[in-house]
Amino acid sequence: MKALLLLLLFAQLCSASLVPEREKDPEYWRRQAQETLRNALRLQRLNQNVAKNLILFLGDGMGVSTVTAARILKGQLQHGQGEESLLEMEKFPYVALAKTYNTNAQVPDSAGTATAYLCGVKANEGTLGVSAGVTRDRCNTTKGQEVTSILRWAKDAGKAVGIVTTTRVTHATPSAAYAHSANRDWYSDGEMPPDALEGGCKDIARQLVENIPDIEVILGGGRKYMFPKNASDVEYPHEEKHRGTRLDRRDLVQAWHNAKPPGKVAKYVWHRRELLALNLSRVDFLLGLFEPGDMVYELERNNETDPSLSEMVAVAIRMLQKNPRGFFLLVEGGRIDHGHHEGKAKQALHEAVELDRAIGLATRLTSAQDTLSVVTADHSHVFTFGGYTPRGNPIFGLAPMQSDVDRKPFTSILYGNGPGYKIVAGERENVSAVDFAHADYQAQSAVPLRQETHGGEDVAVFARGPMAHLLHGVHEQNYIPHAMAYAACIGSNRGHCSAGARPAAPLLLPFLALLVLLC
């Protein structure tokens, strides 16, 4: 056991030593992003309005192969062949690629990548809202290394801000918007080691309530991290695994209420019916936690108790639109990633289709004249589909051929590694003997692993609205929030805002003046 611990410590130290010294400095990434920005500005510009609103849609694990397969699934759900279908995100006029590596990892994790596309600074795997000077699990390396997110920049500019996710609200993607942590898994103090607690590091749920207490909308899962250890869950009172986890015995939902200014109305809901019944004109702050942990897969969602991602997005946009200065909204389809990790492609792809449905809804509720919408992923997966399938082949179906080695059929969808590796009587499992169209079917993989892994290839970035053309070509992932902030005149780079880009409404003023003169 001691040898194993020493080996892990040595690996951790080696991992930290892989980071070039200059990449530990946030300014390195900021300068790099600003240089990329200057190059982008030399391109022909079209919609140069100031973005009043910003929406960042994040498909966790939604690599290009997932996007393509989701497109086919969407078309087939609409009774088409599938290949000719278009996802809502694919209707966006600008497309780029983002390089996803973490500062210490060729194939990244969701925490280091979230720090890149939300905070504009690349970081080490497993760390949130901090620079690459922080080593995972080392609480004492955090102080002074905190980096802020585009959600904070928007809030500082007077905009309303919101977070919507299908995971727990303390998961890697949403937490990088508000937290600073040496470990993405420190959801509550119940998941933190003694040395981190003694070192003064805060758990992520506490940071959600304390760091930016005036986030207007927070919707997702993760109830149990907000309540005292062993407190019964309101929805599953008899299930031990859903009980509260907090060692400090605090009720963070009550703390969230208490942090709101006098006279402001703050509503906490845990049921779909409560959410959809709200009179949003009379609500200033909204916290919705619909499951103890992550929300349920869309294919298995209880339509009575749990809202869909689309429903949560509709509520969030209507809440945030009340602010005349505009808003920033982070929307995560987080369980695409979980489906892939479990080797359950059907779950993953239906999650991707639901995210795309939410994108279409948001597009209809906003205008490209004043709203910059960006869709991307944090990383890919070792998910693929092939086998010379004919046009219109069911996306979860068999390839039209057998292996010329073991003479057995195979599904079009396969994984490079994962839990779908099965040997039956010394040979690869014959998939014709199983229900490969079932939602929980685990597609075959080349290498046996309990959990399938991320992929290391670039991910797509789709953009629509003011300054969307700044997302072009191949970028470092940390460039994304810099470009979005530039479009909205928030953050540190605002020198162009007074004389350059202008809000959509003032563009009409010269024409109105001419009309007055003619009259």
pLDDT digit string, tens, across residues 376-433: 999 999 999 999 999 999 999 999 999 999 999 999 999 999 999 999 999 999 999 9
**pLDDT value at 7 more than 70:** no
Beta bridge partners of residue 163, listed in sequence order: 218, 330
Report yes or no on whether pTM surpasses 0.85.
yes
Nearest-angstrom CA–CA distance, 66 and 375 = 14
Nearest-angstrom CA–CA distance, 41 and 18 = 33
Task: Pick the catalytic residue from 65, 110, 181, 380.
Answer: 110
Residue indicated by tokens 């004492």: 140
- Cα dihedral sign, 226-231-234-238: positive
Mean pLDDT of the chain: 92
Q: Where are the domains of the chain?
A: 47-382+455-496, 398-448
What are the tokens at 198? 């003694």
Beta bridge partners of residue 130, listed in sequence order: 146
177, 162 contact by CB (below 8 A): no
Amino acid letter for position 191: E
Beta bridge partners of residue 449, listed in sequence order: none
| pLDDT 10s digits, 317-362 | 999 999 999 999 999 999 999 999 999 999 999 999 999 999 999 9
In degrees and rounded to multiples of 5, residue 459 shows phi and psi of -115, 160
Q: Work out the pLDDT band at 36, boundaries 50, 70, 90.
A: confident
CA angle at 30 for the pair 26 and 32, rounded to the nearest 5°: 115
Q: Work out the pLDDT band at 39, boundaries 50, 70, 90.
A: confident
Name the binding residues: 60, 171, 173, 332, 337, 341, 378-379, 454
Task: Characterise 331 by phi-psi region: left (phi > 0), alpha (psi -120 to 50), beta (else).
Answer: beta
Name the binding residues for Mg(2+): 60, 171, 173, 332
Nearest-angstrom CA–CA distance, 373 and 403 = 44
The answer for residues whose C-beta is within 8 angstroms of residue 347's C-beta and 6 or more apart is 297, 299, 335, 338, 339, 439, 440
With a pLDDT cut of 90, the percent of the chain lying above it is 88
Name the binding residues for Zn(2+): 60, 337, 341, 378-379, 454
Q: Span 47-382+455-496: which CATH code?
A: 3.40.720.10
Nearest-angstrom CA–CA distance, 33 and 29 = 6
Judge whether 232 counts as a catalytic residue.
Answer: no
pLDDT value at residue 46 = 81
Q: Work out the pLDDT band at 41, boundaries 50, 70, 90.
A: confident
87, 69 contact by CB (below 8 A): no
**pLDDT value at 513 more than 70:** no
With a pLDDT cut of 70, the percent of the chain lying above it is 92
Q: Work out the pLDDT band at 260, boundaries 50, 70, 90.
A: very high
